[in-house]
Amino acid sequence: MDKKILVATTNKGKLKEFKQILGQQGIQVLSLEDMPKKIDIKEDGETFLQNAIKKAEGYAKFYNIPVISEDAGLVVEELDGYPGVYSARFYSVDYGGKEKVETTKDKANIKKLLRLLEGKKNRNAKFVSVIAFYNPEDFGFWAEGECRGTITTEPKGDKGFGYDPIFIPEGYTKTMAELTPEEKNRISHRGKALHKLLNLIKTVL
Protein backbone atom coordinates (compact mmCIF):
# COMPACT_ATOMS: atom_id res chain seq x y z
CA MET A 1 0.00 0.00 0.00
CA ASP A 2 1.70 3.20 -1.16
CA LYS A 3 -0.58 5.94 0.04
CA LYS A 4 -0.32 9.28 1.79
CA ILE A 5 -2.43 10.16 4.80
CA LEU A 6 -2.40 13.35 6.81
CA VAL A 7 -2.30 12.68 10.54
CA ALA A 8 -3.92 15.78 11.99
CA THR A 9 -1.96 16.35 15.16
CA THR A 10 0.67 18.76 16.41
CA ASN A 11 1.64 16.35 19.21
CA LYS A 12 5.09 15.00 18.27
CA GLY A 13 4.71 11.97 20.54
CA LYS A 14 1.46 10.94 18.86
CA LEU A 15 2.89 11.61 15.39
CA LYS A 16 5.89 9.37 16.09
CA GLU A 17 3.61 6.50 17.14
CA PHE A 18 1.38 6.91 14.08
CA LYS A 19 4.43 6.88 11.79
CA GLN A 20 5.75 3.72 13.42
CA ILE A 21 2.48 1.81 12.98
CA LEU A 22 1.35 3.20 9.61
CA GLY A 23 4.84 3.01 8.14
CA GLN A 24 4.77 -0.76 8.57
CA GLN A 25 1.79 -0.79 6.18
CA GLY A 26 3.56 1.25 3.51
CA ILE A 27 1.57 4.37 4.30
CA GLN A 28 3.39 7.70 4.14
CA VAL A 29 2.39 9.95 7.01
CA LEU A 30 2.14 13.70 6.50
CA SER A 31 1.81 16.04 9.46
CA LEU A 32 0.11 19.40 9.82
CA GLU A 33 3.58 20.99 9.66
CA ASP A 34 3.95 19.62 6.11
CA MET A 35 0.85 21.50 4.97
CA PRO A 36 1.36 24.87 3.19
CA LYS A 37 -1.65 26.64 4.64
CA LYS A 38 -2.67 26.47 8.30
CA ILE A 39 -6.17 26.22 9.72
CA ASP A 40 -7.23 25.86 13.32
CA ILE A 41 -10.03 23.46 14.18
CA LYS A 42 -11.18 23.76 17.77
CA GLU A 43 -11.64 20.59 19.82
CA ASP A 44 -14.84 21.72 21.51
CA GLY A 45 -16.76 18.44 21.46
CA GLU A 46 -18.07 16.76 24.58
CA THR A 47 -16.72 13.34 23.60
CA PHE A 48 -13.54 11.91 22.08
CA LEU A 49 -15.57 10.81 19.04
CA GLN A 50 -17.02 14.26 18.36
CA ASN A 51 -13.56 15.84 18.44
CA ALA A 52 -11.95 13.16 16.27
CA ILE A 53 -14.64 13.35 13.58
CA LYS A 54 -14.71 17.15 13.55
CA LYS A 55 -10.96 17.37 12.98
CA ALA A 56 -10.78 14.55 10.41
CA GLU A 57 -13.62 15.94 8.30
CA GLY A 58 -12.47 19.54 8.57
CA TYR A 59 -8.86 18.89 7.56
CA ALA A 60 -9.81 16.39 4.81
CA LYS A 61 -12.10 18.88 3.10
CA PHE A 62 -9.66 21.78 3.48
CA TYR A 63 -6.55 19.95 2.23
CA ASN A 64 -8.37 17.52 -0.09
CA ILE A 65 -6.41 14.54 1.25
CA PRO A 66 -7.38 11.50 3.36
CA VAL A 67 -7.01 12.38 7.05
CA ILE A 68 -6.62 10.46 10.27
CA SER A 69 -7.47 12.37 13.42
CA GLU A 70 -7.44 11.16 16.99
CA ASP A 71 -8.84 12.36 20.24
CA ALA A 72 -7.60 10.48 23.25
CA GLY A 73 -7.24 10.87 26.95
CA LEU A 74 -7.06 9.39 30.40
CA VAL A 75 -10.26 8.49 32.25
CA VAL A 76 -9.85 8.12 36.03
CA GLU A 77 -12.62 6.44 38.06
CA GLU A 78 -11.98 8.35 41.28
CA LEU A 79 -12.09 11.70 39.45
CA ASP A 80 -15.54 11.32 37.88
CA GLY A 81 -14.01 10.41 34.53
CA TYR A 82 -11.64 13.37 34.43
CA PRO A 83 -9.31 14.37 32.81
CA GLY A 84 -11.21 12.79 29.85
CA VAL A 85 -11.53 15.11 26.86
CA TYR A 86 -9.60 17.72 28.88
CA SER A 87 -6.54 15.47 29.27
CA ALA A 88 -4.14 17.66 27.28
CA ARG A 89 -5.12 20.81 29.19
CA PHE A 90 -6.16 19.36 32.55
CA TYR A 91 -3.79 21.72 34.37
CA SER A 92 -5.92 24.68 33.21
CA VAL A 93 -9.36 23.20 34.01
CA ASP A 94 -11.25 24.45 37.07
CA TYR A 95 -12.05 20.89 38.24
CA GLY A 96 -9.77 20.19 41.19
CA GLY A 97 -8.12 23.60 40.97
CA LYS A 98 -5.76 24.88 38.30
CA GLU A 99 -2.10 23.83 38.28
CA LYS A 100 0.74 26.19 37.47
CA VAL A 101 2.94 25.21 34.51
CA GLU A 102 6.46 25.33 35.92
CA THR A 103 8.27 23.33 33.22
CA THR A 104 5.96 21.56 30.75
CA LYS A 105 2.20 21.14 30.38
CA ASP A 106 2.60 17.34 30.63
CA LYS A 107 4.33 17.66 34.00
CA ALA A 108 1.70 20.12 35.23
CA ASN A 109 -1.06 17.67 34.23
CA ILE A 110 0.69 14.83 36.06
CA LYS A 111 1.28 16.94 39.15
CA LYS A 112 -2.39 17.90 39.33
CA LEU A 113 -3.59 14.34 38.80
CA LEU A 114 -1.32 12.94 41.52
CA ARG A 115 -2.39 15.74 43.88
CA LEU A 116 -6.06 14.89 43.38
CA LEU A 117 -5.43 11.16 43.92
CA GLU A 118 -3.26 11.63 47.01
CA GLY A 119 -4.45 9.21 49.72
CA LYS A 120 -7.09 7.65 47.44
CA LYS A 121 -7.35 3.84 47.31
CA ASN A 122 -9.13 3.64 43.96
CA ARG A 123 -6.46 4.39 41.36
CA ASN A 124 -8.14 2.58 38.45
CA ALA A 125 -7.93 4.35 35.11
CA LYS A 126 -7.99 3.73 31.40
CA PHE A 127 -6.54 5.37 28.34
CA VAL A 128 -9.14 5.82 25.59
CA SER A 129 -8.39 6.53 21.94
CA VAL A 130 -10.91 7.30 19.22
CA ILE A 131 -9.41 7.58 15.75
CA ALA A 132 -11.41 8.84 12.79
CA PHE A 133 -10.53 8.45 9.11
CA TYR A 134 -12.11 10.82 6.62
CA ASN A 135 -11.75 10.83 2.85
CA PRO A 136 -12.41 14.12 1.01
CA GLU A 137 -14.72 12.17 -1.32
CA ASP A 138 -17.13 12.43 1.62
CA PHE A 139 -16.98 9.23 3.56
CA GLY A 140 -15.24 8.05 6.68
CA PHE A 141 -15.22 5.69 9.63
CA TRP A 142 -13.80 5.44 13.12
CA ALA A 143 -12.45 2.97 15.67
CA GLU A 144 -11.92 2.97 19.42
CA GLY A 145 -9.28 1.40 21.64
CA GLU A 146 -8.82 1.16 25.40
CA CYS A 147 -5.97 0.29 27.72
CA ARG A 148 -6.87 -0.29 31.36
CA GLY A 149 -4.52 0.09 34.28
CA THR A 150 -3.73 1.98 37.47
CA ILE A 151 -2.17 5.30 38.42
CA THR A 152 1.14 5.26 40.29
CA THR A 153 2.08 7.57 43.16
CA GLU A 154 5.09 9.02 41.32
CA PRO A 155 6.29 9.31 37.71
CA LYS A 156 8.65 6.64 36.36
CA GLY A 157 10.28 6.25 32.95
CA ASP A 158 11.36 8.66 30.24
CA LYS A 159 9.75 7.11 27.16
CA GLY A 160 6.33 8.03 25.82
CA PHE A 161 4.58 11.28 26.63
CA GLY A 162 1.56 12.71 28.43
CA TYR A 163 0.44 10.62 31.38
CA ASP A 164 2.60 7.60 30.40
CA PRO A 165 5.01 8.01 33.37
CA ILE A 166 2.19 7.48 35.92
CA PHE A 167 0.14 4.77 34.16
CA ILE A 168 0.77 1.05 34.72
CA PRO A 169 -1.11 -1.11 32.19
CA GLU A 170 -2.96 -4.20 33.43
CA GLY A 171 -0.65 -7.20 33.63
CA TYR A 172 2.49 -5.06 33.83
CA THR A 173 4.70 -3.78 36.65
CA LYS A 174 6.20 -0.98 34.53
CA THR A 175 4.66 2.33 33.57
CA MET A 176 3.87 3.11 29.92
CA ALA A 177 6.93 5.38 29.94
CA GLU A 178 9.19 2.43 30.86
CA LEU A 179 8.03 0.25 27.96
CA THR A 180 9.75 0.09 24.57
CA PRO A 181 7.85 1.68 21.66
CA GLU A 182 7.13 -1.81 20.30
CA GLU A 183 5.70 -2.98 23.65
CA LYS A 184 3.59 0.15 24.00
CA ASN A 185 2.18 0.01 20.46
CA ARG A 186 1.16 -3.60 21.02
CA ILE A 187 -0.99 -2.86 24.08
CA SER A 188 -1.80 0.84 23.92
CA HIS A 189 -5.21 2.36 23.34
CA ARG A 190 -3.84 4.12 20.26
CA GLY A 191 -2.28 0.96 18.85
CA LYS A 192 -5.51 -1.01 19.30
CA ALA A 193 -7.69 1.68 17.72
CA LEU A 194 -5.30 2.22 14.81
CA HIS A 195 -5.02 -1.47 13.97
CA LYS A 196 -8.83 -1.72 13.91
CA LEU A 197 -8.97 1.33 11.66
CA LEU A 198 -6.27 -0.01 9.34
CA ASN A 199 -8.39 -3.05 8.55
CA LEU A 200 -11.14 -0.68 7.38
CA ILE A 201 -8.75 1.63 5.50
CA LYS A 202 -7.30 -1.29 3.52
CA THR A 203 -10.73 -1.89 2.00
CA VAL A 204 -10.90 1.61 0.47
CA LEU A 205 -7.32 2.61 -0.37
Q: With the CA atoms of 69, 74, 75 and 80 taken in that order, what torsion angle do they form, in degrees rounded to the nearest 10?
A: -110
Amino acid at 89: R
CA-wise closest residue to 125 among 170, 77, 171, 191: 77
The Cα–Cα gap between 50 and 77 comes to 22
* Other residues' Cβ atoms within 10 Å of the Cβ of residue 159: 17
Task: Find the radius of gyration of the CA atoms of the chain.
Answer: 17
For 175, list phi and psi in degrees, rounded to 5: -80, 165
Q: Which residues are catalytic?
A: 71
Residue 55: its H or E element = helix 48-63
- Sheet of 27-31: strand order equals 27-31, 3-7, 67-76, 124-135, 139-151, 167-169
Give residues with Cβ within 8 angstroms of 122, minimum separation 6.
77, 78
